Chains A and B, each alone.
Chain A
Amino acid sequence: MASVFEYAPAPESRSIVDIAPSYGLFIDGEFVEAAEGKVFKTVSPSTEEVLAEIAQAGEADVDRAVKAARKAFEKWSALPGSERAKYLFRIARIIQERARELAVLETLDNGKPIKETRDADLPLVAAHFFYYAGWADKLEHAGFGRNPKPLGVAGQVIPWNFPLLMLAWKIAPALATGNTVVLKPAETTPLSALFFADICRQAGLPKGVVNILPGYGDTGAAIVAHPDVDKVAFTGSTAVGKEIARTVAGTRKKVTLELGGKGANIVFDDAPIDQAVEGIVNGIFFNQGQVCCAGSRLLVQESIQEELLESLKRRLSTLRLGDPLDKNTDIGAINSEEQLTRITSLVEQGEAEGAERWSPACEIPTAGYWFAPTLFTNVTQAHTVARDEIFGPVLSVLTFRTPDEAVAKANNTAYGLSAGIWTEKGSRILAVANKLRAGVVWSNTFNKFDPTSPFGGYKESGFGREGGRHGLEAYLAPSSPEGER
């Protein structure tokens, strides 16, 4: 569809951020080479340009980092909460000061639109540090016993879809509660975590409190398995989550897992259609659909299916795909070639199984990893595209007739992370929300996040909650009635 509006390019300048040709590991307050000398390259998914060469942490490096974190733990955990709070407030402030630099960096390394890094990721990153900073000196009021104690060294493994935000979700509560951390960013998006190391230095954070070890899955596995790691926090795929659960079995390690999802976005016949369409778009095309809580299954009441799909298709035709640094871009690049291959293969499987594929007319750049926004109709619950997490801009549309059927279909998944409800009827919202087996339910909105709000899944979407008062529990030792153990 030819657009009424032709936007002039509005690229954000990348000159604000200096990317060094190479980066080391951040251990005990210093950037160091990997013991085995291995390196890997991180590329910009929108251009395939090599951005930097990154040291790849091996087992010896993990051991060094854990030792540094253990040493730092003694002093860090003994600090008065009010002092730890001030460090976290400093970090939050520096993030705000350097928000533009970090937003550009994140867009370059991840491929997501600058609109999202600037307006969603970075404000939330700062807000998480602010929120948990305030908890550091109030832990005895958090409801986890009278004398809450940190666990020790937290091993944290985070994904590539929200590199800096996931770091904030992990590091802020860990530090507020007096733990020290060894964190592995994803191999495709290590840069913002390494810039965060520099923020720790600017904030004067004691050495060893935060250690950053870029690497692949084996680096993460080494962190999880390290005998001196007391707590494991992971966000990523359900398959890896299960592997981690097996690894920590029989140990004292406390573990939280934020895993996959196949969120149902349920639209009833009385829903405000235009708002629902915006919510559906936001639910599945935000961050190119690379979101664990994405509303990847649209459940629409049969009577409004035609009207809704027509509006939805019209809206999708206005989405702008292209240069993520352009401020008008809605859909950026897929994070990696590997992820693009996975999306492509699942979509082909969807077609082969008989689901009907549709995408708006969409120009795809020649370099980089791209996937056009895609709809599947004629989808049944048995279809792979209705069951498997695609983690891309692909929406499967199913229909229902009654609220009970909507609930049954929404819950018919191994996952239980998120769901959406669109209806003008308040009692229906509450009744349906009550029956959905999901950790987050958005009604008449979708994909909203806030540091004060616990987030996490039911069933195979993992266990534990991040965010809010609940998020502190993952980093505190179990309480005893006397408040000491």
Chain B
Amino acid sequence: MSTVDKNGKTERAERLSVFKTYKLYVGGKFPRSESGRVYEVADSKGNWLANVPLSSRKDARDAVVAARKAFGSWSGATAYNRGQILYRIAEMLEGRREQYVREVADAEGLSKSKAAAVVDATIDRWVWYAGWTDKIAQVVGGGNPVAGPYFNLSSPEPTGVVAVLAPQESSFLGLVSVLAPVIATGNTAIVVASERSPLPALSLGEVLATSDLPGGVVNVLSGRTAEITTPLAAHQDVNAIDLAGADDVLAKELEIAAADNLKRVLRPQPVDYSAAPGIDRMTAFLETKTVWHPTGSLGASGSSY
């Protein structure tokens, strides 16, 4: 912005930027935490970046309700349609590349070029998973050669609502590496962002909201990991939990709580998120359904069909 002073000289004043109020992403909307609380997020050097919502147990429960509500239509969508929507998300991510480079550089203390490489890898990973939606059933399902006059087919189905503890250190690549496989296979998710570096996750919500992804399929919470995940692990309407972002002590506690309704648990393990992922993160949240039917093929008696 420029102004002209009394001497006719043009002076360039520093433009005051517009801050963003970071909000949660729940049920396709952007609420503040119902608790009204926030906490300060700083960059890797300790400079203040933003006040972000400090989610409460109630926020976690609201997110479960939203995720459950979205499950029927998301799991029931065609795999092709899910792939299209996931690819659309990658397109939106690409458009916001510069923003994520800045956020990842701030969050992880990386140089601009290194952060750019991380963001590129993240977008590419999202594209990779977008291509899996209509292939995973062919890879892990199939027909079984039953020894009798029946045919049966085994097909993978999403397990339901999955609570995802995003990795603490890898604020964007790690986040996408654990989230994308969950929703690619038709589950709905409640993601607990990295406690120290939640901004890329909260910004991801903005992308998801503008990408044809039905509200509630992904719900993003920020705050204290232990505080939010304890009610999620104990929640009777959550079907599975990915403990990637938990330390050993918290992971054990949550796994014990998860036993109460026999949630599927993916334990934390050392993962190099820059390496090519296998399909384990997808199969961890799939059930196998086997459907039998008589074939009417001629039996020994010759009296069939």
Q: Contact between A481 and B289 (Cβ–Cβ < 8 Å)? A: no
Select B294's contact among A444, A469, A478, A481, beta carbons within 8 Å: A444
Residues A245 and B290 in contact, CB atoms below 8 Å apart: no
CA distance A179 to B147 in the complex (A): 27
* Residue of chain A at shortest CB distance from B252: A250
> How long is the Cα–Cα vector from A246 to B255 in the complex, in angstroms?
7
A143-B139, A145-B278 known; A459+B290 contact, CB < 8 A = no
Is the pair A470, B154 in contact by a Cβ cutoff of 8 Å?
Answer: yes
User: Which one, A145, A438, A444, A452, contacts B146 given CB within 8 A?
Assistant: A452
Chain B residues with a Cβ under 8 A of chain A:
139-140, 142, 144-148, 150, 152, 154, 159, 239, 248, 251-252, 255-256, 258-262, 264-265, 269, 275-278, 280, 283, 287-294
Interface flags for A448-475 (1: CB within 8 Å of B; 0: not) read 1010111110111011010011100100
With known contacts A245-B258, A245-B262, A459-B262, A445–B289 Cβ distance under 8 A:
no
**A453-B144, A458-B159, A481-B277 known; A259 and B262 CB under 8 Å?**
yes
Q: Which residues of A contact B294 (CB under 8 A)?
A: 444-445
**Are A480 and B293 in contact, with the CB atoms below 8 A?**
no
A455-B290 in contact given A250-B255, A450-B148 (Cβ < 8 Å): yes
Residues of A within 8 A of B255 (CB): 245, 249-250
Q: Which A residues are within 8 Å of any B CB, using their own CB? A: 127, 143, 145, 238, 241-243, 245-246, 249-250, 257, 259, 414, 429, 433, 436, 438-445, 448, 450, 452-456, 458-460, 462-463, 465, 468-470, 473, 478-481
- Cα(A450)–Cα(B150), bound, Å: 10
Sorted nearest first, the 5 A-B pairs with minimum C-beta distance are A250-B252, A245-B259, A249-B255, A452-B144, A450-B146
* Cβ A454 vs Cβ B290 within 8 A: yes
Chain A residues near B265 (CB, 8 Å)?
Answer: 245, 249
Q: Are B262 and A439 in contact, CB atoms less than 8 angstroms apart?
A: no
Minimal beta-carbon separation of B292 from chain A (angstroms)? 5
Ordered by A's residue number, 9 sampled pairs between the chains whose C-beta atoms are within 8 Å are: A246-B256, A414-B261, A448-B148, A459-B261, A463-B262, A469-B142, A470-B140, A479-B278, A481-B278
| Residues in B neighbouring A246, C-beta threshold 8 A | 256, 259
Contacts of A463 in B (CB 8 A): 262, 264
CB–CB B293/A468 < 8 A = no
Which residues of the partner chain A approach B140 to less than 8 Å between Cβ atoms? 143, 470
Establish whether residues A439 and B287, one from each chain, have CB atoms under 8 Å apart when the complex forms: yes
**Is there an interface contact between A448 and B259, defined as CB atoms closer than 8 Å?**
no
- B287 and A453 contact, CB distance less than 8 A: no
What separation, in Å, do the CA atoms of A454 and B288 have in the docked complex? 8
Contact present for A439 and B288 (CB under 8 Å) = yes
Contacts of A443 in B (CB 8 A): 291-293
Taking CB as reference atom, which chain A residue is nearest B250? A250
B142: which A residues are within 8 A, CB to CB?
A: 469
Question: What residues of B have a CB within 8 angstroms of the CB of A445 in the complex?
Answer: 150, 292-294
Nearest chain-B residue to A254 (Cβ)?
A: B267
CA distance A470 to B288 in the complex (A): 9
CB-CB under 8 A from A143, the residues of chain B are 139-140
- Nearest neighbor of B147 in chain A, beta-carbon distance: A450
Chain B contacts for A455, CB-based, 8 A:
290
Query: Which of A238, A440, A473, A479 lies in contact with B292, CB distance below 8 A?
Result: A440
- With A242-B262, A439-B290, A462-B262 as known contacts, state yes or no: A453 contacts B159, CB within 8 Å: no
Closest to A275 in B: B294
Give every chain B residue within 8 A of A456 (Cβ-Cβ): 288
Looking at chain B's contact residues, is the secondary structure mostly helix, strand, loop, or mixed?
A: mixed
Evaluate contact between A429 and B252: CB separation under 8 angstroms.
no
Chain B residue contacts of A460, Cβ below 8 A: 261-262
Q: A440-B292, A455-B290, A458-B289 are in contact. List 6 more A-B contacts (CB 8 A).
A: A143-B139, A241-B262, A440-B291, A441-B292, A465-B288, A470-B140
Q: From A238, which residue of chain B is reached at the shortest CB distance?
A: B262
CB distance from A285 to the nearest CB of B (A): 19
| Contact among A453, A469, A473, A478 with B152 in the assembled complex (CB-CB below 8 Å) | A453
Q: Are A453 and B262 in contact (CB under 8 A)?
A: no
Instruction: State A479–B256 Cα separation when bound (angstroms).
Output: 25
A residues near B154, Cβ cutoff 8 Å: 453-454, 468, 470
Q: How far is the CA of A300 from the CA of B212 in the complex (A)?
A: 40
A417 CB to nearest chain B CB (Å): 11
Let me know if A439 and B289 touch, CB within 8 A: yes
Q: Is A468 within 8 A of B292, CB to CB?
A: no
How far in angstroms is the closest Cβ of chain A from B109?
Answer: 28
Which residues of the partner chain A approach B248 to less than 8 Å between Cβ atoms?
A: 250
Distance A459 CA – B157 CA, assembled complex (angstroms): 12
CB neighbours (8 Å) of B293 from chain A are 429, 443-445
Q: Residue of B at shortest CB range from A124?
A: B147
Q: Which chain B residue lies CB-closest to A457?
A: B287
Residues of chain A lying within 8 A (CB to CB) of residue B269: 478
Chain A residue contacts of B148, Cβ below 8 A: 448, 450
Report Cα–Cα, A458/B248, bound state, in Å. Answer: 27
A454 proximity list for chain B (CB < 8 A): 144, 154, 288, 290
- Residues from chain B with a CB closer than 8 A to the CB of A469 are 142
Of A127, A242, A470, which is within 8 A of B147 by CB?
A127
**Contact indicator B262/A480 (Cβ below 8 Å):** no
Measured between beta carbons, the chain B residues less than 8 angstroms from A459 are 239, 261-262
| Chain A residue at smallest Cβ distance from B293 | A443
A419 CB, nearest partner CB in chain B, Å: 10
**A468 proximity list for chain B (CB < 8 A):** 144, 154
* A454-B154, A462-B262 given; A250·B251 CB < 8 A: yes
Of A249, A250, A438, A452, which is within 8 A of B289 by CB?
Answer: A438
In-complex Cβ contact of A441 among B251, B275, B289 (8 A): B289
- B-chain residues with CB within 8 Å of residue A444 when the two chains form the complex: 293-294
Residues of A within 8 A of B152 (CB): 450, 453
Of A429, A462, A473, A481, the residue contacting B275 (CB under 8 A) is A481
- With known contacts A452-B146, A453-B154, A433–B262 Cβ distance under 8 A: no
Inter-chain contacts of B290 with A (CB < 8 A): 439-441, 453-455
Output the least CB separation between A266 and chain B (Å).
13
**Taking CB as reference atom, which chain B residue is nearest A438?**
B289
**Roughly how many angstroms separate A473 CA and B278 CA in the complex, as a whole number?**
14
**Complex-state Cα separation, A341 to B153, whole angstroms:** 39
With a cutoff of 8 Å between Cβ atoms, the chain A residues found around residue B291 in the complex are: 433, 440-443
CB < 8 Å neighbour of A440 from B145, B159, B256, B289: B289
